[in-house]
Structure 1
């Protein structure tokens, strides 16, 4: 049943129609009914990510050059020694609406949503934004908008070669020694939901690297929750904090108990 708000909006538009107002018990029943469908969607999303981890890789033989804060860097340099690289093509350059004070509004919303990159780095993954704006403009923009994302200047045909010359897009790469592979690409509505750590990891070839994931044999995996840390406390190669292990173990046990009861 859908009911009306009972009055016209002040701006003259038709009154908004809203769902039924019900008791707490009826509301909880409706929530549980929807939860069944949401769990199906979650499992489907996990299965899709597992399939993505099995996609074929495309070798990248061409050399690409970018300008970074400290000078010229290659595509290989962008990995910063890690195995996975995510490159988002952000439109900030002459001709973009808002230049030079602002980048594209849509790309700026993506930048506003990006979680602290330390969590990605802890999963052997580097995130980089790339535009055609000079580094001086990029530095000014980042300071003004409060962005700490690594951001380089495209100086060659990288954007044309990887499908992001006329529209935004996210490319994922994997490094095996000095050989780089393109492993995934998304754009359009696929880009608009990016920004969170989990969404980024789910488009990488190694995934979240947690033990529950369906990944090919030999892929790195660690116990769920145990690698999580404060963004200023990650230490490369460090063992999980023992106190956090106790806390997360207790949380998992409580979750399993609740699930067994049908919660």
Structure 2
């Protein structure tokens, strides 16, 4: 096995930045912080633009296999309003089969945060592959991915949504009449950042649903931070946390 860690010799031969005083370091950090904040604002603006993307109706029926049998695309929402469906390559012709999924897809699965926070924002994350449910169940148990819903593709879903040859996240929205719309798609290096609550919410049509966001008229919003909770206490109002948030926002002038 090749050692991917840099050797002492490599470290010694690096052209390292200058070593400066704490005051000089602070000045350099503050200069870079300006650019960091510009990037954050740019990222927020991009998410706002996603929320204004046109939608396309999903008219064709798609089937999947789950632990309890055959499911439709609508079933994968689990009753929530939004669905982020990742095409993971755990297929018979993929390197690693049947012990492992694709190395990159596996690394992505390791990054997935606790799903209860996504659920609180009416959003479901699920994975889909061509592997059988028996093999998927064994893989999830072996790799510690039990909480990720993972379905077997049994129709043309992967072909129709651009994920038959490469991984990617498709985002869907379920309206008040249970009609399904495709709202966004991200793949290639865009998948690198996925895994956190915020990275998923920022590609959905409703976004983070917080009061500071730039969203179209009528989109749901709640006060920032106050919807947060410990992942095992959602549904139990925490008045003390609301007091903490109110005090912090006054102090920070938010």
- Quick one: which of 35, 38, 41 aligns to 1:37? 35
Tell me the residue number matched to 1:52: 50
Secondary structure in 1 aligned to 2:213?
coil
Relative to structure 1, is the Cα distance of residues 59 and 15 closer, same or farther in structure 2, using a 3 angstrom cutoff? same
CA deviation string 1:140-195 (max 9, x = no partner): 11111111211000001000000000000000000012210000001001011100
Is 2:242 aligned against 1:255?
Answer: no
Q: 1:17 and 1:45 mapped to 2: Cα distance?
A: 32
**Structure 1 residue 251: Cα displacement:** 2.1
Relative to structure 1, is the Cα distance of residues 13 and 201 closer, same or farther in structure 2, using a 3 angstrom cutoff? closer
Which residues of structure 2 form unaligned runs of 5+? 1-6
CA deviation string 1:36-95 (max 9, x = no partner): 011111111101100110000000000000001111110000011111000000000101
Relative to structure 1, is the Cα distance of residues 207 and 12 closer, same or farther in structure 2, using a 3 angstrom cutoff? closer
CA deviation string 1:184-238 (max 9, x = no partner): 0010010111000001000000000000000011100000000001111112xx6
**Structure 1 residue 126: Cα displacement:** 0.4
1:4-19 to structure 2, matched below 5 A, reads 10=8, 15-19=13-17
Q: 2:164 and 2:215 mapped to 1: Cα distance?
A: 33
Mean CA deviation greater in 245-254 or 109-118: 245-254
Relative to structure 1, is the Cα distance of residues 10 and 230 closer, same or farther in structure 2, using a 3 angstrom cutoff? closer
1:85-234 to structure 2, matched below 5 A, reads 85-147=83-145, 148-176=147-175, 177-234=177-234
1:63-78 to structure 2, matched below 5 A, reads 63-78=61-76
**Structure 1 residue 14: Cα displacement:** 6.9
Secondary structure in 2 aligned to 1:17?
coil
Which residues of structure 1 form unaligned runs of 5+? 1-8, 258-263
Relative to structure 1, is the Cα distance of residues 226 and 26 closer, same or farther in structure 2, using a 3 angstrom cutoff? same
TM-score after normalising by structure 1: 0.91
Secondary structure in 1 aligned to 2:16?
strand
Q: 1:201 and 1:118 mapped to 2: Cα distance?
A: 13
RMSD value, Cα: 1.4
Q: 2:247 and 2:68 mapped to 1: Cα distance?
A: 46
TM-score after normalising by structure 2: 0.94
Q: 1:149 and 1:250 mapped to 2: Cα distance?
A: 36
Relative to structure 1, is the Cα distance of residues 217 and 12 closer, same or farther in structure 2, using a 3 angstrom cutoff? closer
Q: 1:87 and 1:33 mapped to 2: Cα distance?
A: 39
Q: 2:223 and 2:96 mapped to 1: Cα distance?
A: 45
Q: 1:116 and 1:82 mapped to 2: Cα distance?
A: 17
Matched residue count: 246
Q: 1:23 and 1:111 mapped to 2: Cα distance?
A: 41
